[in-house]
Structure 1
Amino acid sequence: MTPGTTFLTRDEIRSLSARSDLWGAALVAHCWLVILAAAALFVWWPNVATFLLALMVIGSRQLGLAILMHEAAHNALFRTPWLNAFAGNWLCGAPILADLAAYRHYHLMHHRHTQTDRDPDLRLSKPFPTTRASLRRKLFRDITGQTGIKQRAAQILFAFRLVGETESVSSQDLAQAFGGPVLTRALIANAVLFAVFWTFGGWWLWPALWLLPLLTWFQLVLRIRNIAEHGAVAFCDDPLRNTRTTLAGPLARAFLAPYWVNFHLEHHLVMHVPAHNLPRLHALLRQKGVAARMTLAQGYGQVLREASARPDRPAA
């Protein structure tokens, strides 16, 4: 039984859970077309403004690839299993140095034990709320590439299972992090990207428009997304209180919350509902009067304020 059956009928869940190969193809294509369009704009009109815009857009769509891989981990991106596996591994995971199987194993543990002592994601949420100074330091390390460089230098998280969602790994984890088919897929995918960017205008476009966003903007928006989902919420097993949904406008959806990832509480209620149906699920919960009991934020500004609400220690 999923937590959603407390609030939804089985027919409602069945309707919301319908998968579509057309939707999956459209989402993956959209993500890559946005990435290429941002790169093309800079190549066509090179200046500081278009470079910064490309860096932000591409970094946000790298997060989009991680989100679509997350969809594939729930077998919700495509209806056809082999398409789900292929897109999740090659088109979404490998370009950002992530592995679908390792992520799925880890992530399902998170769903099973959300905000309990057995939640493997607890180290991401438990530090919050923190102080404003601490949050500023974290965000500064992200946007300046310090977090990303540290992680990639350590060969990207053990088995890539967090897709870059932590700042520390053990030596045993690192020994298993980057080998076999995972490394092969990552190298092939990035070799293809290198060739595409070189064709666009030069070899330097890959480090400038793929690697740099991955080390900076991607890390920043990834952290903000992580905080929004489980940071500064109740430490309990109530699915309406241990997970947050963040209401997002067009700009926030473009740069912080692509592909409906902001509807995280709804995702935890019925984790196999495809992302494009999460707004419908949210609306249905509102119709049923559940919204008053849900942990909701009126935007990412509210999330960051709640996550940094611990008072700073007074100077000695």
Structure 2
Amino acid sequence: MDHKSLLASLSGEERNSLTVLSDWPGLFKLVQHVVFMAVLVWAILAGVPGWPVLMLPLGIQYVFLFTLLHETVHRTPFRNVWLNRLAGRICSVVLILPADWFRYFHLAHHRFTQEPGKDPELAEPKPETVRQYIVHISGLAVWRGHLTTLFRNAVQANRDSFVPARGKAKVMREAQAMVVLYAILLAGSLWTGSTMAFWTWILPLLVGQPFLRLYLLAEHGRCAFVANMFENTRTTFTNRLVRWLAWNMPYHAEHHAYPAVPYHKLPAFHARTREHLQVTEDGYARFSANYVKSLES
């Protein structure tokens, strides 16, 4: 059974139960993330023994805000539209990834998942050699892409095919506002001689990015170029910590099959779809090991 057949088999009651939105699960989860990050920032600034090591868990928390940004694209982590927009904007600033531009990018990815020439994620080919894999995992190409996109959108009308004409002005205003904000932060740091932003934001982002790259590669890496979401997307079975960190997005085939399902309902939807999934993996370590084995030297 493909994903369309499965969705057609759901009753109206099942659909309503799976797609009901709520503010409280997302707010409770977001508070957990914020408290955890705040404690790490405080420990780094206080210079507790071994504080440099804490930049790694802080950075991992930061980069996995991408999964929350991703969910706000679908307007599903919170019932309140304002909360979705606010959470998306905050994640956008932390990750240096414009939220409006990313929304157009990601919705096109959902519309044309694994369709060469149409899925914007395929514009950057998956690594096929050891060298390409190392560069990919380092995150250097990602940061170059983020910064290029930000500054390009700030100075000229967007030319990406997935951004509609009505959205080009919005994308430009967003990029310009972000550039101004970062310029103010940089000027303030230079004026005061403060290195706080570097130690509690920039460097943690850099050291955390490889973990997000490894995670994201499992979503569609080595999956088929077909329309069935149970074949072109991978669900990765993992532990509760990773599912918590990634807002349940390891249930990725389920998410692609039915994007309207909020993150906290994905485990229930997984129970309904598990027997139909065609691409799964038992953990990210195993996926990575298998991927590395398939690379050309």
Point out the structure with the larger helix share. 2
1:184 is aligned to 2:165: no
Query: 2:151·2:175 contact (CA, 8 Å) conserved in 1?
Result: no
State the secondary structure of the residue aligned to 1:260: coil
Query: 2:33·2:61 contact (CA, 8 Å) conserved in 1?
Result: yes
State the secondary structure of the residue aligned to 2:17: helix
Query: 2:135·2:141 contact (CA, 8 Å) conserved in 1?
Result: no
Query: 1:158·1:176 contact (CA, 8 Å) conserved in 2?
Result: no
**1:164 corresponding residue in structure 2:** none
Query: 2:100·2:171 contact (CA, 8 Å) conserved in 1?
Result: no
> In 2 relative to 1, CA 189–9 (structure 1 residues): closer, same or farther, beyond 3 Å?
farther
State the secondary structure of the residue aligned to 2:293: coil
Where do 1:38-53 residues align within 5 Å? Answer: 38-47=40-49, 49-52=50-53
Alignment-mate amino acid for residue 87 of structure 1:
A
1:226 is aligned to 2:216: yes
Query: In structure 2, which of residues 129, 136, 139 is the aligned counterpart of residue 138 of structure 1?
Result: 136
Query: In structure 2, which of residues 10, 13, 18 is the aligned counterpart of residue 11 of structure 1?
Result: 13
> In 2 relative to 1, CA 25–193 (structure 1 residues): closer, same or farther, beyond 3 Å?
farther
**1:168 corresponding residue in structure 2:** none
Alignment-mate amino acid for residue 43 of structure 2:
L
* 1:297 positional shift: 0.7
1:122 is aligned to 2:110: no
**1:79 corresponding residue in structure 2:** 79
Query: In structure 2, which of residues 26, 31, 34 is the aligned counterpart of residue 29 of structure 1?
Result: 31
CA distance in 2, matches of 1:269, 1:277: 13
Alignment-mate amino acid for residue 104 of structure 1:
R
> In 2 relative to 1, CA 16–208 (structure 1 residues): closer, same or farther, beyond 3 Å?
same
* 1:239 positional shift: 1.0
Query: In structure 2, which of residues 289, 293, 296 is the aligned counterpart of residue 309 of structure 1?
Result: 293
Which residues of structure 1 form unaligned runs of 5+? 161-170
Alignment-mate amino acid for residue 236 of structure 2:
T
Alignment-mate amino acid for residue 246 of structure 2:
P
Query: 1:232·1:306 contact (CA, 8 Å) conserved in 2?
Result: no
> In 2 relative to 1, CA 307–179 (structure 1 residues): closer, same or farther, beyond 3 Å?
same
- What percent of counterpart residues are identical? 25
> How many residues are treated as equivalent by the alignment?
280
4+ residue runs of structure 1 moved beyond 6 angstroms? 175-178, 189-195
**2:206 corresponding residue in structure 1:** 215
Query: 2:64·2:212 contact (CA, 8 Å) conserved in 1?
Result: no
The C-alpha deviation readout for 1:214-268, integer Å capped at 9, x for no partner, is 23312x12311221100111121121110001111245446xx522121111100
Alignment-mate amino acid for residue 206 of structure 2:
L
**1:59 corresponding residue in structure 2:** 59
**1:277 corresponding residue in structure 2:** 265
TM-score w.r.t. structure 1 length? 0.75
1:264 is aligned to 2:287: no
Alignment-mate amino acid for residue 50 of structure 1:
W
Query: 1:227·1:307 contact (CA, 8 Å) conserved in 2?
Result: no
Query: 2:100·2:170 contact (CA, 8 Å) conserved in 1?
Result: no
CA distance in 1, matches of 2:109, 2:87: 23
* 1:186 positional shift: 6.3
CA distance in 2, matches of 1:224, 1:278: 22
**1:297 corresponding residue in structure 2:** 281
CA distance in 1, matches of 2:9, 2:151: 37
CA distance in 1, matches of 2:263, 2:289: 27
Alignment-mate amino acid for residue 232 of structure 1:
R
* 1:5 positional shift: 0.7
> In 2 relative to 1, CA 149–285 (structure 1 residues): closer, same or farther, beyond 3 Å?
closer
Query: 1:19·1:78 contact (CA, 8 Å) conserved in 2?
Result: yes
The C-alpha deviation readout for 1:107-129, integer Å capped at 9, x for no partner, is 111111111121111134x435x
Where do 1:130-209 residues align within 5 Å? Answer: 130-139=128-137, 141-142=138-139, 146-147=140-141, 150-151=144-145, 154=148, 156=150, 179-185=172-178, 188=181, 203-209=194-200
* 1:7 positional shift: 5.3
* 1:172 positional shift: 6.2
